[in-house]
């Protein structure tokens, strides 16, 4: 159940990210063509007011198709309609008319010639693959030549639309963490056992939820810091634990501590005091926590390049695992973790790499300064580098998660 809640939480964060792009695009006059959670092929889809909404079969994110992300170029037609031309050479005169218009930067003439090419594609006897590619080429041309095409908009509109996705994630992070502080967050741990994990040394000696640990190996434990220090300091040696159960002292063990992760432990979770804040104070703590997390993430990136931070990278598998563990403890801790995941999504997307949002913002600024659009081939080459780096990052994260979940 916790895993399902975690997956659902991650899906909601992605949905909100895409909704940011979607609604801001509509607000500034760009009508999105598609709004998907996940990537195609579509599992379900529906068209409303000319916009296709759907859920994709590949659950690695989501996307909003904004019309005309790139300025149409003559070479686009050669590449996209090449297979169709081989099967139906009669398409060439119609295509050439559109190409000549694009070569002369006459967008009005290109748009006037496009219906003739579209009709010819529909009437042509093409194989399924060539027909699909040809229709997609026509559709992209229609979007790229439309008045609401992204590349034709003023720079501030383009930046607003692209930043809206990460911006929503930042806002969601602040709200979720603030709500957690209002509801009540765990304070300092105490000596009372909250729960005992199965198949651990604590379970073997009969430690129970509600027990209060008052001594370890005869040494008093006035607070949880002493409990933690004595258990970690055992380094695998047998220990005896004295607890108060129903007001009576009881000694459990001896039992050897076990190395869990990088610490010696016996497998129980301590209780803690819950701290609640008013709305203003909660928002202040939320800003502080998100700012600290942002600085930690930014300083982590250089360590990733040098290799010292690679063990800290996690994939969606690890993200779901961490958030499900948080959900098993307290709802407020889950909210905080979910908020930090939302913040991480925002920071990752703002990296100045295509096809991430930060890359599109960077290229929008470059195009605004130079006064003309960058060619599609430049976008594709830079995107290939960004995708390769992203896949390497995902591979590192997945490897770390497999090793961690497998006990490696």
What is the C-alpha separation between 220 and 249, in angstroms, rounded? 12
293-331 pLDDT per residue, tens: 888 777 766 655 555 545 555 444 444 444 555 445 577
**DSSP structural state of residue 128:** H
What is the C-alpha separation between 370 and 378, in angstroms, rounded? 15
What is the C-alpha separation between 41 and 276, in angstroms, rounded? 46
CB burial readout 249-282, b (16+ within 10 A) else e: eeebbebebeeeeeebbbbbebbbeeeebeeeeb
Nearest to 212 by CA among 248, 256, 260: 248
CA 18 vs. chain centroid, Å, equals: 11
* pLDDT at residue 385 in the model: 82
Q: Which residue has the tokens 């229609």?
A: 142
* pLDDT at residue 296 in the model: 76
* Cα radius of gyration rounded to whole Å, the chain: 28
* pLDDT at residue 3 in the model: 64
Cα–Cα distances in Å, from 37 out to 34, 65, 171? 10, 12, 20
CB burial readout 21-35, b (16+ within 10 A) else e: bbbbbeebebebbbb
Nearest to 394 by CA among 301, 321, 316: 316
331-359 pLDDT per residue, tens: 788 888 888 889 888 988 898 888 889 99
**Mean pLDDT, each 10-residue run in order, the chain (408 residues):** 68 90 95 88 90 84 88 86 91 93 91 93 91 92 93 94 96 94 80 88 91 92 89 90 92 88 83 84 92 78 55 48 53 84 88 88 91 80 79 62 49
Q: Which residue has the tokens 């909704």?
A: 19
Q: Could you give all domains of the chain from N- to C-terminal order, each with its CATH number?
A: 74-145 (no CATH), 177-182+278-405 (no CATH), 186-275 (2.30.42.10)
Helices (H) and strands (E) in the chain, counts: 13, 10
What is the C-alpha separation between 388 and 354, in angstroms, rounded? 10
161-192 pLDDT per residue, tens: 999 999 999 999 999 999 999 998 776 678 88
* pLDDT at residue 258 in the model: 87
């Amino acid at each position: 159940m916790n895993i399902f809640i975690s997956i659902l939480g991650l899906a909601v964060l992605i949905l909100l990210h895409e909704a940011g792009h979607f609604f801001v695009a509509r607000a500034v006059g760009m009508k999105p063509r598609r709004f998907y959670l996940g990537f195609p092929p579509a599992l379900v889809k529906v068209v409303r007011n000319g916009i296709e909404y759907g859920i994709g079969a590949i659950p690695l994110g989501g996307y909003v198709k904004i019309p005309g992300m790139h300025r149409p170029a003559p070479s686009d037609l050669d590449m996209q309609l090449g297979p169709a031309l081989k099967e139906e050479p009669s398409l060439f005169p119609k295509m050439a008319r559109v190409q000549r218009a694009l070569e002369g930067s006459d967008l009005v003439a290109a748009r006037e010639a496009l219906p003739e090419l579209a009709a010819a594609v529909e009437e042509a006897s093409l194989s399924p693959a060539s027909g699909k590619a040809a229709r997609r080429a026509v559709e992209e041309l229609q979007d790229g030549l439309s008045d609401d095409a992204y590349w034709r908009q003023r720079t501030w509109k383009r930046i607003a639309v692209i930043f809206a996705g990460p911006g929503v994630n930042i806002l969601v992070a602040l709200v979720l963490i603030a709500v957690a502080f209002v509801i009540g967050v765990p304070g300092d741990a105490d000596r009372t056992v909250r729960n005992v994990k199965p198949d651990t040394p604590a379970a073997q000696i009969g430690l129970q939820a509600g027990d209060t640990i008052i001594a370890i190996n005869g040494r008093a434990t006035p607070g949880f810091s002493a409990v933690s220090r004595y258990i970690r300091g055992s380094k695998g040696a047998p220990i005896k634990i004295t607890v108060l159960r129903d007001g009576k002292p009881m000694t459990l063990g001896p039992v050897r501590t076990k190395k869990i992760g990088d610490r010696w432990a016996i497998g129980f979770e301590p209780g803690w005091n819950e701290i609640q804040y008013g709305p203003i104070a909660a928002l202040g703590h939320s800003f502080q926590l998100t700012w600290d997390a942002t600085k930690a993430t930014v300083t982590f990136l250089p360590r990733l390049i040098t290799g010292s931070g690679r063990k800290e990278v996690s994939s969606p598998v690890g993200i779901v695992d961490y958030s499900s563990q948080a959900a098993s403890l307290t709802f407020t801790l889950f909210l905080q973790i979910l908020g930090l995941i939302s913040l991480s999504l925002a920071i990752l997307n703002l990296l100045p790499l295509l096809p991430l949002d930060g890359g599109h913002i960077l290229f929008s600024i470059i195009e605004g300064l130079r006064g003309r659009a960058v060619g599609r081939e430049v976008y594709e080459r830079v995107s290939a580098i960004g995708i390769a780096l992203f896949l390497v990052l995902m591979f590192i994260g997945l490897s770390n998660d497999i090793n961690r979940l497998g006990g490696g």
